[in-house]
Amino acid sequence: MRILMVCLGNICRSPLAEGVMRDKIGKYNLQAIVDSCGMGGWHVGEAPDSRAQQVAKNHGLDISQLRGRKFSRRDFDDFDIIYAMDYENYHDIMQLARNTWDRQKVRMIMNEVYPNENISVPDPYYGVLQDYETTWEMIDEACEAITKKLQLNDGVQF
């Protein structure tokens, strides 16, 4: 299973999601690959925002080695599931989809916890550290749900 986490700039939500998901995959000894990217290219090559790194560190994870990159159409070929952090990014990804197969891969991450509710993970960038903590909690909950699905399906696409 190849999973891609997508937000706007790839310095806040999606690197947190990548870090959380990688940690859960390791803890549960699952076979999956996780990456993250952003819809915009403003932060290509940059490390995650210092506040995202701090929240991850507070939870025992180091995401400092991650680097921002921009979403490309090739990601549809390279990943089995593409998780958008909010509806705007979901919409933008769907606009780049080449066909039905591409569109079937794209999901709102919080729908794993609250099916069909299309809840967005708020972008904490213009907020304070507590906003990053709230983002962490939402992402952790969603990644736990994804992990359970991976365990139940033994790595088969769901």
> What residues are annotated to the active site?
7, 13, 123
- Phi and psi at 109, nearest 5°, equal -60, -40
Q: Between the CA atoms of 149, 152, 155 and 158, what dihedral angle is there, to the nearest 10 degrees?
A: -50
112 C-beta neighbours (distance < 10 Å), count: 20
